[in-house]
Chain A
Amino acid sequence: MSENSIEKLPTYLEIPAIKKDSMAGNGPFKASVEVQNELGFPGEKVENWQQVAIDKMAETKSKYRSVQVFLDACVKCGACTDKCHYYLGTADPKNMPVARQDLFRSVYRRHFTFAGKYFPKLVGAKELDEAMLDDWYNYFHQCSQCRRCAVFCPYGIDTAEISMAAREVMNVIGVGQKYPNQILGKINKIGNNLGMPEPALRDTLEDLEEEIKEETGVAVKLPLDIKDSEVLMVTPSADFFAEPHIDGLIGYAKVFHQSGVSWTLSSYASEAANFGMFIGNYDVMRQGALRIRKAALDLNVKRVIVGECGHAWRVAYSFWNTLTGLGSGGNDEYSKKLQQQLDSNYPQPQHIIEFTYDLIQQDKLLFDKSKNDHRVVTFHDSCNVARGSNMGDIKNGQFILPREVIKAACNNFSDMPKGTIKASTFCCGGGGGLLTDDLIELRIKGAKPRMHALKQSEERNGVNTLAAICAICKSQFSKVLPNYEFDPYMIVSVHQLVSDAIILSDNSENSNNKAL
């Protein structure tokens, strides 16, 4: 892979000529019987899998308008063919969004359309046979569900919807992917993706408090399970242990400390990530969201705030209200209860960036920006935040707010080239349940477009720090940056930048450490 790193590029990434089967293979590790059963899926490929799969396709397309419309509407215009980072990085034609959809569409046509039933060759309709299933498994796990293709499709066809549907069908016939399914088992049992139980979490937080105290001399708290706090903070569990994530968590704690707003983490809902989305399963996704609703009710908080995690924010912002009634406008029992309890002066849920941004607007945070002067920062728009959510309820707020927070804490900020940021941002290469070592080749190649953009920024503007607000992006970049001759430590949390520059005051009476 290292030859990619020395490539010098013109203004934009060249579109490769197709290289058939360059990413052919068996796909990621399959889930074991136990892992599958845990989620209520068959442990092994069922006997009559073809029929079960076709029935499931019928069900899915009758429940999701997106799937039904997208399967019909594509005109094969080719506009999306060069928009996927996995195609750009691998040149495998089946990684062109439309070709990826076609794996599913060809079976749809064969079984559900007039033309496909009677003239299969004419319209490219195909049977769901072993070879096709292998292609499904391989190539629907080469899609990070980043939705970049949907931005450019004239009909808004979102390949992520198709890959979610396909993964759901595969799970139902007993062919599941190990990485996300194993993690989902842990969150359902223990409350976070790591399977980190309450005592371990408590220890970690206490250690962090000591660390901050040592470094700053200020008693910044990281409260756990404190009833009646103002804010319930739900963050990806990677924030508790992984680098550079953990420095972001310290950043949130400092911001809360300065704000004087009481806050708590929950050991029951210690995970904002929700891999249920990646496997396209409404129920599993809902289960994850319900844990957070329950924690919010049990802890009797007034606000729910979500940490730096891309797909978690998409699920929270776009889906929580649907899944759990956490938001406004619902009139079922739970929605009403939540509306009574939660503070209607704030949108529910909120992103930590929105929280920090508001404080900055009100001049409640002071920064010593020079602390970040050794950095020239650029911002990686994580795909789920950029294309599947909003912040601040202003148009394009999800692009504006994080940049404003960075600029408040840093003197040197410079965006990567147009066409690689904001709505057109390139995925880090590890999203959508692909952040696993058995897919490392794909992850390195898929990062290529982002790395090229970063390289340009480095050459032109001396960028040496890459800030992100997604746990997956952070882990993925730490891993693949060296493959492109970058410093793996150049990736930071946005709230690490905040953390490094914020001026703390010793207002420990404000923090809620009494119950610990």
Chain B
Amino acid sequence: MSLTSIFFTFFFYISVLIFITGVSYKIVQYWQTPAPLKIPIAPAPLNRSGVLMRIAREVFLFQSLFKASKWTWIFGWSFHFALVLLFFRHLVYFWPGEIPTILLKTEPLKYAAYPLIFGLLGLLGRRFFVDRVRYISAPSDYLMLLLLIVIGGSGMLMTFAQNHPNMLLVKNFAEGLITFNWSELPSELLFLAHIFLVFLLIAIFPISKLLHAPGIFFSPTLNQVDNARKKRHISQWAKNKESHKKIDLEQNSDEDK
């Protein structure tokens, strides 16, 4: 195998490893950190199914963002939705062995690249032109968008500008990563740039704001049921206080009148 192929093969596994360990670490951390108080935010659901609906509306429709800012919603939602479609579009490359027919029909999903770029450029534009958003943007916030724009742009150049790399090589390389049956990858620069940045994106996921993806499921303001009067909600560390606070309470009663 060529050095490039070896490098990219390694890079893929390292990125995935960082992704899996990093994100698992974060999920475990969120999971284990107690939420000691009931802090659901209005309009708060009064039961479990209401919470599930709420999370679903936030995850699929970006409900709160819609309420907050229509422009950010249009840009953000089209980008995310397109990203999901493009993810499915790419599955066909990685699918080992017999490819299910459904995946063979994903060709038209490539057009999702347009709303993807549209959304990303919109979000970037906001960072430049809305003074409030410019104020809160760190260099990493611009870079993250640029990274995604270059990924999307390079993909579009390959797909829509007749710069296709050798698709058989792509397929073998991608499938090989999954089946540990490594093979050469095409050497077109556009393609290399594309996958380099994708692997980079996977690697920085757990150390960046991309943590909003697992984070949304753990947000106590969104995932708590508003039933504090009906059900006692208490964390372990708060419970530990109670056992020895009882004595304090007796002392408290002494000072009473």
Bound state CA distance, A152 and B135, in angstroms?
19
| Distance from B146 Cβ to chain A, minimum over Cβ atoms (Å) | 13
Does B220 contact A65, Cβ atoms closer than 8 Å? Answer: yes
* Residues of chain A contacted by B41 (CB below 8 angstroms): 147, 150-151, 156, 158, 387-388
Contacts A65-B218, A77-B65, A423-B42: A322 and B233 contacting too (C-beta < 8 A)? Answer: yes
Q: Report A92-127 CB contacts with B as 1/0, cut-off 8 Å.
A: 010010110010000000000111000101111000
Contacts A65-B35, A98-B136: A73 and B216 contacting too (C-beta < 8 A)? Answer: yes
**Interface status of A268 (Cβ within 8 A of chain B):** yes
| Distance from B148 Cβ to chain A, minimum over Cβ atoms (Å) | 12
Among the 9-residue stretches A313-321, A369-377, A494-502, the one with 4 or more Cβ atoms under 8 Å from chain B is A313-321
* Residues of chain B contacted by A70 (CB below 8 angstroms): 219
Contacts A65-B218, A98-B136, A387-B41: A325 and B212 contacting too (C-beta < 8 A)? Answer: no
* Residues of chain B contacted by A394 (CB below 8 angstroms): 46
| Distance from B91 Cβ to chain A, minimum over Cβ atoms (Å) | 26
Does B232 contact A69, Cβ atoms closer than 8 Å? Answer: no
Q: Report B241-257 CB contacts with A as 1/0, cut-off 8 Å.
A: 11001100100110011
**Interface status of A195 (Cβ within 8 A of chain B):** no
Does A66 contact B207, Cβ atoms closer than 8 Å? Answer: no
Does A76 contact B133, Cβ atoms closer than 8 Å? Answer: yes
Does B136 contact A99, Cβ atoms closer than 8 Å? Answer: yes
**Interface status of B68 (Cβ within 8 A of chain A):** yes
| Distance from B247 Cβ to chain A, minimum over Cβ atoms (Å) | 13
Residue of A nearest to B59 (CB): A154
Does B232 contact A319, Cβ atoms closer than 8 Å? Answer: no
Query: In the complex, which of the residues B67, B68, B234 has the most CB atoms of chain A within 10 Å of its own CB atom?
Result: B68
Residue of A nearest to B75 (CB): A77
**Interface status of A390 (Cβ within 8 A of chain B):** yes
Bound state CA distance, A192 and B132, in angstroms?
42
Does B38 contact A121, Cβ atoms closer than 8 Å? Answer: no
Does B230 contact A328, Cβ atoms closer than 8 Å? Answer: yes
Among the 9-residue stretches A5-13, A27-35, A56-64, A454-462, the one with 4 or more Cβ atoms under 8 Å from chain B is A56-64
Partner of B39, one of A122, A161, A347, A422: A161
Interface size on B, residues (CB 8 A): 72
Interface size on A, residues (CB 8 A): 86
Query: In the complex, which of the residues B41, B211, B231, B237 has the most CB atoms of chain A within 10 Å of its own CB atom?
Result: B41
**Interface status of B97 (Cβ within 8 A of chain A):** no
**Interface status of A395 (Cβ within 8 A of chain B):** yes
| Distance from B152 Cβ to chain A, minimum over Cβ atoms (Å) | 18
Partner of B46, one of A152, A332, A395: A395
* Residues of chain B contacted by A69 (CB below 8 angstroms): 30, 33, 215, 218-220
Partner of B33, one of A64, A150, A331: A64
Chain A stretch 405-435: residues in CB contact (< 8 A) with chain B? 422-423
Does A347 contact B229, Cβ atoms closer than 8 Å? Answer: yes
Does B139 contact A121, Cβ atoms closer than 8 Å? Answer: yes
Residue of B nearest to A82 (CB): B132
Bound state CA distance, A297 and B84, in angstroms?
57
Q: Report A77-93 CB contacts with B as 1/0, cut-off 8 Å.
A: 11111110000000001
Bound state CA distance, A327 and B221, in angstroms?
21
Query: In the complex, which of the residues B132, B208, B215 has the most CB atoms of chain A within 10 Å of its own CB atom?
Result: B132
Does A124 contact B140, Cβ atoms closer than 8 Å? Answer: yes
* Residues of chain B contacted by A260 (CB below 8 angstroms): none
Does A79 contact B136, Cβ atoms closer than 8 Å? Answer: no
Contacts A122-B140, A156-B222: A114 and B207 contacting too (C-beta < 8 A)? Answer: yes
Does B249 contact A290, Cβ atoms closer than 8 Å? Answer: yes
Does A325 contact B232, Cβ atoms closer than 8 Å? Answer: yes
| Distance from B242 Cβ to chain A, minimum over Cβ atoms (Å) | 7
Does B43 contact A423, Cβ atoms closer than 8 Å? Answer: yes
Does A322 contact B215, Cβ atoms closer than 8 Å? Answer: no
Partner of B229, one of A122, A152, A348: A348
Partner of B69, one of A79, A121, A198, A396: A79
Residue of B nearest to A151 (CB): B41
Residue of A nearest to B206 (CB): A114
Does A74 contact B35, Cβ atoms closer than 8 Å? Answer: no
Bound state CA distance, A388 and B37, in angstroms?
11
Bound state CA distance, A82 and B71, in angstroms?
14
Does A390 contact B34, Cβ atoms closer than 8 Å? Answer: no
**Interface status of A386 (Cβ within 8 A of chain B):** yes
12 extra A-B contacts, CB within 8 A, seeds A18-B131, A349-B229, A390-B46: A66-B39, A66-B219, A73-B212, A76-B136, A78-B69, A78-B126, A96-B136, A153-B64, A327-B230, A333-B246, A388-B42, A395-B46
Give residues in B with beta carbon < 8 Å to A: 26, 29-30, 33-39, 41-46, 58, 62, 64-65, 67-69, 72, 76, 123, 126, 130-133, 135-141, 143, 207-209, 211-212, 215-216, 218-222, 226, 228-235, 237-239, 241-242, 245-246, 249, 252-253, 256-257
Can you identify 6 A-B contacts, CB atoms within 8 angstroms?
A: A62-B33, A72-B211, A75-B209, A81-B133, A282-B36, A321-B229
Give residues in A with beta carbon < 8 Å to B: 15, 17-18, 61-66, 68-70, 72-83, 93, 96, 98-99, 102, 113-115, 119, 121-124, 147, 150-158, 161, 198, 268, 282-283, 286, 290-291, 294, 298, 317-322, 325, 327-333, 335, 347-349, 386-388, 390, 393-396, 398, 422-423
